[in-house]
Amino acid sequence: MDDSWPTSAAGEHRETGVDLHLDLPPGTSQGRRAALERALRDAVRHGRLAPGSRLPSSRRLAEQTGLSRGTVKAAYDQLTAEGYLTARQGSGTVVADRPQGPSPQPPGRSAATRPPRHDLRPGSPDVTSFPTSAWLRATRRALGAVPSAAYDYGDPRGRAELRAALAEYLGRTRGVVADPDRIVVVSGYVQGLALLTAVLGRPVVGMEDPGLPFHREVVRRAGGRVVPLPVDEHGAGAGGDLPRMDAVVVTPAHQYPTGVTLHPARRHALTDWARAGGGLVIEDDYDGEFRYDRQPVGALQGTAPDQVVYLGTASKTLGPALRLGWMVLPPHLVRPVAEAKLYSDYHTGAVGQLALADLIADHAYDRHVRASRLRYRRRRDLLVERLEGAAVRPGVELRGIAAGLHALVSLPQDGPDEAATLRRATAEGLAVDALGGHWHGADGGDRSSPGRPRGLIVGYGTPGEGAYPAALAALTRVLRP
């Protein structure tokens, strides 16, 4: 239905088509005018009508409320006189600008909280390098080619175009055995992990120690019980025999947060464990495309496609805001995961899927990943150069630098603890993460226990190109004696 009024041949006046909800009690015309004034005044005071909001014309509001046009005009005039509204020539009546008091602070955040001057926290790519032009071209091409049915409800597994493009891309670049029918598109790694946990039915899940606490909480909230899977210089599975578990979650290409690559013997041990006992290996390949010193390590899934679930996303290659990820599933899990996805959110947004499918098919995605790999390698090299050239504390070492978007700066046991180092970083305006908070069972304060490695997790994807050198300078100041 068209809310606008037709243009009058005489006077060329067009009524505004703005709707406004007001609760007005019944009463006399004089009483209803007061009620209208009060309702409008309260809407402005409480923020439902923000400064600059356009109000309906007096004619339009009179029709909506059942009042006379004269009553509405009188109410507008009164609120204009009080400073709540203002009449602009050619623009009708709008809410007036009003002095703003201090904004209330969110719970748990002090008024002094400010973004860090230098951000080296891990977990995000350089979003300033998002390929906007290529994405717009891909979106235009995709939307120009699809039928109108693409805007309706779709397959919970995702658009066929994206699943076909991913099957080709993942097989070619990561060695994944990925038939399109075995792929389910999700809104990101977190949703994929939660769906798998729910489908497995209150499973016992081994998760890397150290690892990301948020992911452990995702598994717990989806009904799983988490047990630690120790990590050493060869990756997950340190200590020999694997404990009794239904599933394990690993980051084989570049472990988070230590940065180690899963040793071939450990890879074989994981897949042998899964084959022997019917367990499931969940492979998080969150930054597998970014390897710098040798050929990328192929996905674990390619060696045991019936025992391994492969999880990947566009969050590190393009940006987390797209909310696009994918699962490559063993055949027996496709139907239950698709059903769980259906009752979770029905399906992931189709327009983004179509654009990504076009970006992959056009090889613009490959070009962007290659350019990003070169850029992040330069950043990794600059991090190594700065720390080697700076007079940092004895025992400070850089680890996990062969791949990915983060490195581990290990701290000596006989120096300042992580908490003291973080306080020094805060004084420099630098944001980094500490290794101590990633151990299973860690809680507040300095969470590194005696004998456990100490370190800072440094992300070199987050800052823009111009901000990165200054962030490294702040890091070297923090690490000096």
CA 298 vs CA 113, 142, 406, 440: distances in Å: 43, 30, 20, 28
- pTM score: 0.83
- pLDDT tens digits for 250-284? 999 999 999 999 999 999 999 999 999 899 999 99
Q: Which residue is it, tokens 């800052």?
A: 463
Q: What whole-number distance in Å separates Cα of residue 119 and Cα of residue 461? A: 10
Confidence of residue 393 (pLDDT cuts 50, 70, 90): confident
DSSP codes joined into one string, 277-318:
H--EEEEE-TTTT-B-SSSPPPPGGGG-TTTEEEEEESTTTT
> Residues of CATH 3.40.640.10 domain(s) within the chain?
131-367
In which element (H, E) is residue 152 found? none
Closest CA to 286 of 462, 121, 458, 124: 124
The neighbouring-strand residues paired with 244 are: none
Which residues, 6+ apart, have CB-to-CB distance to 295 below 8 Å? none
Res. 1: pLDDT tops 50:
no
Task: Measure the N-to-C terminal CA separation of the chain; round to a whole number of Å.
Answer: 71
- pLDDT tens digits for 291-338? 998 777 899 999 999 999 999 999 999 999 999 999 999 999 999 999
What pLDDT was estimated at residue 47? 86
In which element (H, E) is residue 248 found? strand 247-250
What pLDDT was estimated at residue 14? 46
What pLDDT was estimated at residue 465? 86
Planar angle of CA 181, 183, 189, nearest 5 degrees: 170
Confidence of residue 17 (pLDDT cuts 50, 70, 90): low
Backbone angles phi, psi at 185, to 5 degrees: -85, 135
Q: Which of 142-151, 155-164, 435-444 has the lowest mean pLDDT?
A: 435-444
Confidence of residue 30 (pLDDT cuts 50, 70, 90): low
What pLDDT was estimated at residue 69? 92
Q: For the domain with range 29-95, which CATH number is right: 1.10.540.10, 1.10.10.10, 3.30.70.20, 2.130.10.10?
A: 1.10.10.10
% of the chain beyond a pLDDT of 70: 89
What pLDDT was estimated at residue 113? 54
Closest CA to 154 of 348, 321, 313, 309: 348
In which element (H, E) is residue 473 found? helix 468-478
How much is the average pLDDT of 451-457? 90
Q: By the 8 A CB rule, do 347 and 156 touch?
A: yes
- Mean pLDDT score of the chain, rounded to an integer? 89
Q: What whole-number distance in Å separates Cα of residue 52 and Cα of residue 382? A: 48
Res. 446: pLDDT tops 50:
no
Residue 88: other Cβ atoms inside 10 A: 9
Q: What whole-number distance in Å separates Cα of residue 407 and Cα of residue 219? A: 25
What pLDDT was estimated at residue 424? 95
Which residues, 6+ apart, have CB-to-CB distance to 459 below 8 Å? 120, 121, 122, 123, 124, 405, 406, 432, 433
Res. 234: pLDDT tops 50:
yes
CATH number listed for the domain at residues 118-127+369-478: 3.90.1150.10
Backbone angles phi, psi at 409, to 5 degrees: -95, 105
> Residues of CATH 3.90.1150.10 domain(s) within the chain?
118-127+369-478
Q: What whole-number distance in Å separates Cα of residue 435 and Cα of residue 419? A: 11
Angle at which helices 69-81 and 29-45 cross, to 10°: 40
- pLDDT tens digits for 78-137? 899 888 999 877 778 999 987 654 445 444 444 445 688 999 999 999 999 999 999 999
Q: What whole-number distance in Å separates Cα of residue 343 and Cα of residue 359? A: 29
Confidence of residue 13 (pLDDT cuts 50, 70, 90): very low
Closest CA to 354 of 142, 132, 141: 142
Res. 345: pLDDT tops 70:
yes
> What is the identity of the amino acid at 326?
W
Q: Is the domain defined by 131-367 classed in CATH 3.40.50.620?
A: no
Burial (CB count within 10 angstroms: exposed 0-12, middle 13-18, buried 19+), residue 307: buried
Res. 248: pLDDT tops 80:
yes
How much is the average pLDDT of 216-234? 96
Residue 369: other Cβ atoms inside 10 A: 17
What pLDDT was estimated at residue 16? 53
> Residues of CATH 1.10.10.10 domain(s) within the chain?
29-95
Confidence of residue 24 (pLDDT cuts 50, 70, 90): confident
Longest Cα pair distance anywhere in the chain, in angstroms? 89
